[in-house]
Structure 1
C-alpha cells in the first residue's frame, strides 16, 4: 500500500512525494479512507506515528475545489500547546503546497494583531489552542458557524491540562452537523466517555505504538557536552570501515549547519529535509546509496522517504523528543536480518529523553566511555 492507493488527488500526491513519503503509516492507512468518506473517526495513536498527516491530508482533499464564500473558517483543529499548533501548521503547509487552501495557527503568548489580520483576510483551516481561540471569539474576531470538519488533537493532554470547559464552550459555537475527528495517545474511560458525546457513529482506529528495537541492531550511547558533539561525530567518522552513516538532526537548520561543518572537516556529507527541492533530495539520496557521500544528515520527516537495505550505521546526533521516534530511527539499520549499529549522543539536557527511550524499549542502552 502506498499513498497513491489511498485515492488522493494529484496535488497532494505531488506534495507527499516531494517530502519523501512513500508508504503510509498504520494510522494514516486506516484513517485517511474513513475521513475521505466523511466518517467521524476516533483514533488512538502515539505522537510520532504520523497522526497529523492522517487528518491533515484528507482535510485538504475534502476542502479542495470548494473554497469558502465570505471567507468563513471551514475546518478547526484544536490542540493543547503552542508547539503543537506550529507543528500542525507546518504539516498543512507541506501537504497543501500545491493547493489553494489557506491555514493559520493561533496561540497565546504573542501579540494578537498579526493573527487578527490574517483571520480578516480569510482562513480555510484554523489551528488553535483553546485559550487564544476563545479570547478572539469573545472579541468578535472569529466565527465558527461554518465549520465542516472539527479535529480534537491530543485529547488526553487537553483533559489533563484542564481544557475540558473551554472545549465545551467552543463546541457550542460550531455546527452540530459536522465531521468530527478525535485523536488521543491514550484512551482512559474519561476520554471514551467524552468522545461519545461529540462523535456520531465513529470509526474506531487503535494503533499499537512501536516499542521494541531489532535484536540485530547494536545500540550504544555517549554522554557528551552539547558543544563537543561535533568533535565526537568527526572522530567516529574517521573510522573508514564506516562506509555509510545516516545522522539524525532535530531541525532543518541544524541539519544544514552540521552538513557544512562536516564538509569543512573533509567528510563528504549532504542533508535532506522538507525545505530541499525534490531534485536535491533525490540527488543526495542517490549519492548516499552509491557511496559517493559517506554521511546523510536527515530530519525525522525527511527520513520517512529513506529505504536502504544496506545501511549499517545510524547516529542520533540529537535525541528525539518522542521515544517512539528513536525506534523508527534505528529501524533504518539492521534491515532484512543484517547487523546494524545505532549510536546516540546524549548531552545533559537530553537525559530525560534518554530515560523515556529506555523505558519504552525496556533496555538500558550500553554507555560508551570517552577518554
Structure 2
C-alpha cells in the first residue's frame, strides 16, 4: 500500500503531474491497486463509481510506457464510446500535466473509422483506449500490432459483460503476450465475469473497496409508491410542481426512453433524450445544447449514468428500477455533485419492495414520500411492511389448524410431532423459494443475452 503518490517507483514527472491536478493523497483503491500493478501483479478490483479507480490504473499504465518506443504498450477498454472518451480525456490531462510525450489513441464504434485509421497511421499510438468492437476490428486487420503490449485493462467489466462484449475482449486477449499484466475494474463481479477473468488470471490480487458514502450526503433520496396511477403522469407532475434546474429521468430501455420523451413533449415540455441508438453527431449536439441550458429535462437510458458527465443536474428520477441494482448508484450519482444539493426520486410499486430492500442492503437510504397539494411530503415508512412479512413468516392457515388439532388430541409426543411438521413445512417452502430464485435468475440471464445480440 502507498500513503502518498511520492512512491519511488512512480516517475517524478507523474508525481509532479498528479500534484499539479490536485492529487495529493491517494484514495483507498489507489493505495491498493497502484503498488500491485507496479509490482506486475494481476488485479481484479471491485470498486464503486467515485472511488478513484481511473487514476488507480492510469498511473501504473502511464508509468510503464516507454515514450521512445513507438508501438502499442498498453490497452484500456471501456464498454461505451462515452466512457472511452472520458478515459481518453483523463489520460490526456494527466500526460499534459506530467509533460509526458505519450501518444494515446481513442478508438470507438460510431465514430468515423477512416478518420481513426488515419490518425493511427500518422501518429503511432503507445496507449490505446477503446471500445471492444473497434479494438478487435483494428487488431484483427493488424492496423497495429499488440504482441508487445505490457498492460491490458478492462474498465467497467460488469457493464462489458451486460452489453455482450466479453466475446470481443476474449478474442483480443488471446492475441496478447503470455506475460501481459491484466487488470479488471468493476462495480460488481458476477459469476460469469469471474469465470471469464480466471481464464487469463490464475491467481489475481482481488481488491474490494467498499464505498460507505454510496450516495452523497447532499442528496435527498426519496421513494415514491405510485400505486395504480400512471407513471408518466406522475413524472410530469414531479417535473412541473417544482422547477428543477436540470432533471434527468432514467428508463431501462431505449423504447421506454422514446415513449416517455414523446409523452412529455406532448405535454408541451422541451425534452431531450439520450440512448444508445442515437447517432454520435446527434448525441454530441444534444449534450452541447444541454450544457448551454437549452433543455431543462432529459430522458436517458443507463448509458448516460455511466458515460456522460452532465453538469448541474438538480433532480434525478428513476422512472424504473434498473435490472442491475448497482445502476441506481450511478444514476443518483448524477446529482448532488461538488457539495451542491441534489434530489433523487425513485418510482416504485408494491411488488418491487423486495428490490428496495436489496438496495438498502447495498447501503442506500430512502425516505418514503407521497404527493399532497403539489408537494412531496413524508409518509409512513415502507418498513411497516416488515410487520406483514413477519406475519407471513408465521405458520400459514394449514399449519395453524394442524397445531390446534394435535394440541386438542394431546397424544404422547404431540409436541415433537408438531415441531417436525413445522420443520418439514419450512423446508418445503425454502425449496420452493430457491426454485423461484433459480428461475428468476435464468429469466434475467436470458433477457441480458437477448439484449446483447
TM range (shorter): 0.5 to 0.7
User: 1:95 is matched with which residue?
Assistant: 94
* Deviations, residues 305-352 of structure 1 (Å, cap 9, x unaligned): xxxxxxxxxx9646599736967986976xxxxxxxx63256xxx978
1:240 alignment partner in structure 2:
none
Map 1:182-197 → 2, pairs under 5 A:
182-197=184-199
Matches within 5 A, 1:264-279: none
What is the correspondence of 1:279-358 to structure 2 with a 5 Å cutoff? 317=314, 323=329, 343-344=341-342
Q: CA deviation at 1:51?
A: 1.2
Q: CA RMSD in A?
A: 4.1
What is the aligned partner in structure 1 of residue 365 from structure 2?
A: 362
* 2:67 aligned partner: 67
Bigger RCO of structures 1 and 2 (CA < 8 A, at least 6 apart) = 1
Q: Is the 8 A contact 1:219 1:365 kept in 2?
A: no
Instruction: Give the distance between the partners of 1:11 and 1:154, measured in 2 at CA.
Output: 28
Asked if 1 retains the 8 angstrom alpha-carbon contact of 2:316 and 2:332, the reply is yes
1:221-300, aligned counterparts within 5 Å? Answer: 224=239, 228-229=243-244
- Residue 205 (structure 1) shift: 0.7
For the residue of structure 1 that corresponds to 2:182, the secondary structure is strand
Structure 1 residue 124 displacement after superposition: 0.6
- Give the equivalent residue in structure 1 for 2:134: 132
Structure number, greater radius of gyration: 2
Q: Structure 1 residues 116, 68: CA separation in 2 closer, same or farther (over 3 Å shift)?
A: farther
Displacement of 1:14 in angstroms is 2.7
**Counterpart position of 2:109:** 108
TM-score (norm 1): 0.62
Does the Cα contact within 8 Å between 1:319 and 1:345 map onto a contact in 2?
A: yes
Find the partner of 2:35 among 30, 33, 36: 33
SS of 1:49's equivalent in the other structure is: coil
| Greater share of residues in helix | 2
Alpha carbons of 1:218 and 1:50: their partners in 2 closer, same or farther (altered >3 Å)? closer
Relative to structure 1, the CA distance from residue 17 to residue 223 in structure 2 (aligned partners, 3 Å threshold; closer, same or farther) is farther
Which ranges in structure 2 are unaligned for 5 or more consecutive residues?
223-236, 247-286, 294-307, 318-326, 348-354, 377-453
Separation in structure 2 between the aligned mates of residue 161 and residue 214 of structure 1, nearest angstrom: 28
CA distance in 1, matches of 2:101, 2:44: 28
Given that residues 47 and 186 in structure 2 are in contact (C-alpha distance below 8 angstroms), is that contact kept between their aligned partners in structure 1? Answer: yes
Moved more, 196-205 or 29-38: 196-205
Give the Å deviation of 1:193.
1.9
- Kindly tell me the number of residue pairs found equivalent between the two proteins: 280
| Cα shift readout 1:212-270 (whole Å, capped 9, x = no counterpart) | 5698x794789556x95459xxxxxxxxxxxxxxxxxxxx9899979xxxxxxxxxxxx
Answer yes or no: is the 8 Å Cα contact 1:3–1:13 preserved in 2. Answer: yes
Give the C-alpha shift of residue 139 in structure 1.
3.1
1:204 aligns with 2:206: yes
How far off is 1:364 after superposition? 2.5
Looking at structure 2, the residues matched to 73 and 208 of structure 1 have their Cα atoms a distance apart, in angstroms, of: 34
Residue by residue over 1:91-112, the C-alpha shift from the partner in whole angstroms, topping out at 9 and shown as x without a partner, is 1112211211111110111211
Query: Kindly tell me: are residues 219 and 111 of structure 1, through their superposed partners in 2, closer, same or farther at Cα, counting changes over 3 Å?
Result: closer
Instruction: Report the equivalent of 2:79.
Output: 80
Partner of 2:11: 9
Deviations 1:70-91 (A, max 9, x none): x311101122111111111111
